[in-house]
Structure 1
Amino acid sequence: MSISRKFPTRHAHTLKTHSGPVNTVIFSSYPGTYVLTGSTDRAIHLSRALPSSDTHSLVETTRPIQKYEAHGYSVLDIAVSSDNARFSSVGGDRQVFLWDVEQGSTVRRWTGHSSRVEAVQFAGEGDSIVVSGSADTTINLWDAKSNAYKPIQTLTEASDTVSSLHVHMPTYSIASGSYDGRVRIYDLRMGRTTVDVIAHPVTSVRCSADGNAVLVSSLDGKIRMLDRTDGKLLKAYGGESQVGKFGEKYMNKSLRIRSVFAKGDAVVLSGSETADMESKENTSQAFVFAWNVLTGDIIATIPAGEGVKVISCVAWNEKGQCWAGACADGTVKIYS
């Protein structure tokens, strides 16, 4: 059966728990039963990813299982530890928060950034390190096991906002994307940094499972897959020439939109924005796009709903073979 036939497009669950645009969504670690969502309403919500009863009709949830409230500004990114006991969150308040999931409270708050923090990831053995990327152009590494309040290392190569991070532990590396149009890969074992020039602000970076490729979204409306060793372009997705079955084109010109690998790295999945972002009309809608990694062909386009002008973040759950999209109308939609 082809990838396109197997790609999940059934809208199974809508989360209507936030009162502002949702900026980030992430599944809990294996098996991915839950999702954590972060919003402009300054709250982080924990909800079941899929309804507990296996119904074939759309289910709506209006109350989360748990709310985490400590941020004073928009929540922009969340990372979950591999044991699901902790998560880290960042946002407009320039701090990096480390949370205890069960207690519902913060166990650390690091304050080393001087501007909003856009990206966060866990790293190290036992998720002992938290990595954060900020609009102050720095990446900070924090010791999550000690009470130290200063970063153990600061990476200062970027010349504009660090918008995205992905830690790839098998190769001991950190991939970062910046609005300076660069993708930087930090090899922590070798102490070496490689730089690929995209020439457009980078909004998302994601390493493949084997670490050989990196997926890069940028504000020229294209997603590129680069060879990690030499920066060679392996494939590009989106662009003016590609049109979906409804006549829609992949758009990303103004906002941070996160893309991911899905289905064992066989699919590229991304949200998008509408062409008339500034318009007050609520007739247009953004789409989630899925491409075949190897051919670059569009295999699915899923409409976000009338008036939803941005799907800023998507997340994929390999175990459950389902995905979630974070929407500007405050909803999160999950497809299985």
Structure 2
Amino acid sequence: MQIIDSFQDSVMSVCLTKTEIIGGSVDGTVRTFDIRVGRELSDDLGQPVNCISMSNDGNCILASCLDSTLRLLDRSTGELLQEYKGHICKSFKTDCCLTNSDAYVTGGSEDGYIYFWDLVDASVVAKFKAHSLVVTSVSYHPKDDAMISSSVDGIIRVWKK
């Protein structure tokens, strides 16, 4: 068993690749652990991280932070590539992800909306009222134009284009 205990606060989200464990923490960091060589890389976002998600091509990490900002990071360098704003994320864990083509970023909001942003220019391309309360989770289908969402309203919804 391997124990990773370098975070300074709660770990809210993890991703796994063939050789890495990536974690997002309330301490404001996204940490990548190479389990083959025991190396750790840390990116300090300066805000509590409540969700991380990897792009489908594996090159980027999307992080939802409690300052109502999603941040897109280059996995290899940690460089901040883009920020996405407009939704509300201040008190609840709200998930985020990229669409299956990596063309759009999507995320839940505390006001019950789901937002879609253009990956490159970060403009809001769509938003819609999905739930009556906080949208806690969104997940996009790996091949089809479909997604699911869940909420503190106790409902899971399936969305298909």
Which bin holds the TM-score, normalised by the shorter protein? over 0.9
Query: How many pairs align?
Result: 160
Q: Please report how far the alpha carbon of residue 211 of structure 1 lies from its aligned counterpart in structure 2 after TM superposition.
A: 2.3
Q: Does the residue aligned with 2:3 lie in a helix, a strand or coil?
A: strand
1:327 aligned onto 2:151? yes
The residue type equivalent to 1:227 in the other structure is D
Unaligned ranges ≥5, structure 1: 1-151, 239-248, 275-285
Aligned partner of 1:69 in structure 2 is none
Shift of 1:263: 2.8
Partner of 2:136: 312
Deviation at 1:318, TM superposition (A): 2.4
Among 37, 40, 47, the alignment partner of 1:193 is: 40
Q: Equivalent residue for 1:269?
A: 106
More relative contact order, 1 or 2 (CA 8 Å, 6+ apart)? 1
* Contact preservation (8 Å) 1:310, 1:327: yes
Query: 2:135 touches 2:151 (CA, 8 Å); kept in 1?
Result: yes
Q: Distance in 1 between matches of 2:36 and 2:102?
A: 25
Instruction: Say which of 44, 51, 64 aligns to 1:217.
Output: 64
Partner of 1:302: 128
Q: How does 1:1-336 map to 2 (within 5 A)?
A: 152-169=1-18, 172-238=19-85, 249-274=86-111, 286-305=112-131, 308-336=132-160
Q: Give the deviation of 1:200 after TM superposition.
A: 1.1
* Letter aligned with residue 88 of structure 2: M
Identity %: 31
Match of 1:35 in 2: none
Instruction: Give the drift of 1:206.
Output: 1.3
Moved >6 Å (runs of 4+): none
Higher strand share: 2
TM-score normalised to structure 1 length? 0.46
Contact 1:175 1:206 in 2 (8 A): no
1:224-272 CA-partner distances (Å, limit 9, x unpaired): 001112211101001xxxxxxxxxx410001111101113211111111
